[in-house]
Structure 1
Amino acid sequence: MCGAILFLISDALLAWNCFRVKIKSTQILILVTTM
């Protein structure tokens, strides 16, 4: 369950970074949530 939530967060961050605003710390957050 926790892994699914982290995957959802990282996927949402990828979509937000791609289609909305480029955020510098997004790459770090994606790496942290996929570990």
Structure 2
Amino acid sequence: MDNLILIKVKNKMYQQKAIIVQVAITTPIWYSSS
């Protein structure tokens, strides 16, 4: 059960990272600020 919860949490974190990456790619402002 603990492993299942860990996997779900990891999947959510990966999804959030993927969204952040997509936003960074679609907005050139990110590149100029970093």
TM-score by length of 1: 0.56
Amino acid of the structure 2 residue aligned with 1:12: I
Q: Which structure has the larger Rg over C-alpha atoms?
A: 2
Structure richer in helix, relative to its length: 2
Amino acid of the structure 1 residue aligned with 2:14: F
Highest RCO, 1 vs 2 (Cα 8 Å, sep ≥ 6) = 1
| Unaligned segments of structure 1, at least 5 residues | 25-35
Q: CA RMSD in A?
A: 1.5
| Unaligned segments of structure 2, at least 5 residues | 1-7
Question: Identity of paired residues, percent?
Answer: 0
Q: How many residues align?
A: 24
